[in-house]
Amino acid sequence: MGLKPFFCFHAFFAMSSQQQNLFDTEPMEWEVDAQEQRLVATVVLGEGPNGEYDYLVPDQLCDRDRGDWLVEPGRRVQVPFGRSNRKVVAYCVRLETKSVDVGRFKQVAKVVDTSTLLSPEMLRVTRWMAEYYLCPWGQVLEAVVPAGVRHRAGTREVQLVHVPEDVLQELPKLKLPPKQRHALELLAKQSNPMTPAQLAEVAGCTAAPIRQLLKKGLLQAEKTRVSTSQVDESVAERVSPLSLNSDQQRAFEQISKSLESGKAHGIVLHGVTGSGKTEVYLHAIDQVVSYGRQAIVLVPEISLTPQTERRFRARFDSVAVLHSHQTPVERHAQWQRIVRGEVQVVVGARSAVFAPTPHLGLIVIDEEHETSFKQDTAPRYHARDVAWQRALDEQIPLVLGSATPSLESWYRAEQGEFEHVSMPRRVSNRVMPDVVTVDLRDRALSRGGRGGISRPLHQAMAAALHDKGQVILFLNRRGFSTHIQCPACGYVLQCPHCELSLTFHRQQNRTLCHYCDYHDSPPTNCPDCKSHAIRYGGLGTQKLEDEVRARFPEHVCARMDTDSMRVRGSHQRVLDAFGQGEIDILLGTQMIAKGLDFPNVTLVGVINADTALHLPDFRAGERTFQLVAQVAGRTGRGAKGGRVLVQTLSPDHPAIQAAVRHDFPRFASQELVLRRQLHYPPYGSMVRLVVRGPSEEVTRSVAEDLGSRLKQAGGNEQSLRVIGPAPAAITKLRGNYRFQIQMQAPEGDSLRRTVELATMRFKPPRDIVWTVDVDPSDML
């Protein structure tokens, strides 16, 4: 700790400052005499105990003459920790001068970073995240600063030499050998320091004269890190801004008004698919750039296609792209460009919300309803809420764009907390595509083969291809067969670690668990009764691809899912080929459902709209509506128009019916009535706790103990509900049994207080892990 052992309750007393003092806390006279005014650094650990710890800053680390090696908030430092004084790396989060008893404090050992990693604004946002999502502040900081930045990927340590100021003044009077003088005079004329090797090469001498100058103190050497990587920034052909139609102009004017106000504004931009929302973003960003400020644009990971990148690069001189497929070296290089203010626009997935823009002017979240904006590991933040907090802190607008907004954002707009801007028409007044359901319960419609393509869909595909159109088929199931079952005894092949059905992947000839990556050879007979009548059932994208090739052998077909897109660049190659008309039929999972704009697509087929509809999740209907509506939006973007066929066993479900009519307001009003009755978000807050462990009985017992603690801690909260513990929807995952506890209340503060109080002294067995998820998006 930062304090010596006998004064180790600093963090406890800091948290308990509002409690009544039972003892006289006034310092004794000799303690007052021992106190001095000193600079104190408050730090948090990236790993290890939670809490804030105070350390003295030694004079040499607060001396401005040392330049880069200063203790400052937002930099990492090395400090002695614990009784053993082991050296650990911590983040400095605050500096203040105060009266302290010097003998009771340890000192900062050294500064790790030569530049600030986190601005004061970002320190405030990360502290809010720690408090809101019930996560240690240090863990939040570790997530915000990429590993490539922390480890300085793509740099190496070098020794640089320069001529000290006092030597420069005495240079004419110095008596030196010719080679030493020549090298010294050359370096004195340089504006930047050089390595000894560089100086020797420029001076035309060996390393010996340089070593002698260093030995005499006429050259001063310092170690620093220099970049060894170059940013490969693709150059796109510049495109002039497009003219806006009346809907786009109205939306742009609303954003522009918010930009000029200099205040935080939340704007829900509800525009149907193909309404030109991206062009509105580009116009708004152009205004931000004209002010000398930067913009952050968040898009779902699966929508961060080369097509998206090119569109932004074609309009702005300097664009940084951040995504999960970048190497640590690439990530670090882009981070440094952003910090230096060289970037006008940052385009990226969820974590790009933390981009260190020095003059941020606007944040845009496209497809803001996407669940990928919610982090599934600690800190379990939602990029939309973090972006709003950052907008509040920096007093800038936040634009949330979607054809199918999340009900949370829609409700905030209805309540007047956010502004609502509607774009109800497609550009060029193109009509929305006709959406037709195919009732798979009707054998007459589903007859036409034993595969996944019904007779109406087959006929529609044949007609579209005959007219030189292109087809997109959507199926959110990877693999060939989604389950393997014995018809003789009913045995289903399951993952031994997850108790979930294994999926058969025919190309690799293996069975695979999509949750833990367990794999095995496919069985030739039943592992239980040894029957040879083993049956491979269910439909995945691999089997659908085979069916399409068999039905339409004269047409080129391509599949896009995580199995087929593993090779770097394959995503771009397939989309480029599809855009150029080299591929007639594109099928895949949700990576083809959003963000694609191909005018020649005249037919979209949804193979099974029910895959997520009946999951034990209160958002199942909302996600089904969003997915069907977004997939439908991939067609009808050209002069040929388009059609959508949705195959379903639930054609009368309200979510399917609303998606068929492209009627989001009606769906939202119906769904919000149900949410209000059940006190689900946005009419209340929710926290989900999951307890997992290798022993089912022990895990259940720990979960019951935690549930009792939560109910006791929340006893004074009349409207707080604690539901469970109960087995999670996925009972066993990666070898661990899982039990969940669901908490609900009208507002989140009471939930957080209850969790903190209940878990203050909660210590489960070592092999039991419990997690807390505030505002959960995944209930499985």
Distance between CA atoms of 635 and 571, rounded to whole angstroms? Answer: 20
Tell me the per-residue pLDDT of 444-497, one tens digit each, with 9 for 90 and over. Answer: 766 555 688 999 999 999 999 999 999 999 988 877 777 788 888 888 888 888
Query: Are the C-beta atoms of residues 750 and 714 closer than 8 Å to each other?
Result: yes
- Do 539 and 476 form a contact (C-beta atoms < 8 A)? no
Q: Is 373 in contact with 350 (CB distance < 8 Å)?
A: yes
Q: Does the pLDDT value for residue 231 go beyond 90?
A: no
Which residue, 281, 341, 735, is CA-closest to 500?
Answer: 735
- pLDDT for residue 35 is more than 80: no
Q: Is the preceding omega at residue 682 within 30 degrees of 0, hence cis? A: yes
Give every CB contact of residue 664 below 8 A, 6+ residues apart in sequence: 270, 403, 404, 405, 625, 629, 658
* C-alpha of 55 from chain center: 33
Q: What's the pLDDT score for residue 16?
A: 35
Find, among 24, 111, 33, the residue nearest to 75 by Cα. 111
Alpha helix (H) residue ranges in 262-360: 277-290, 306-313, 328-339
> Nearest Cα to 233, choosing from 328, 308, 348, 333?
333
Three-point CA angle 167, 173, 177, nearest 5°: 90
pLDDT category of residue 23 using cuts at 50, 70 and 90 = very low
Whether the per-residue pLDDT at 11 is higher than 60: the answer is no
- Which comes out higher in pLDDT, residue 570 or 693? 693
User: Span 647-661, mean pLDDT?
Assistant: 91
Q: Are 73 and 39 a contacting pair, CB within 8 Å? A: no
Which 3 state secondary structure label does DSSP give 360?
strand
Give, in order, the Cα–Cα distances in Å from 251 to each of 310, 361, 363: 23, 18, 15
In terms of average pLDDT, the best of 1-15, 269-283, 551-565 is: 269-283
Checking if the pLDDT of 3 tops 50, the result is no
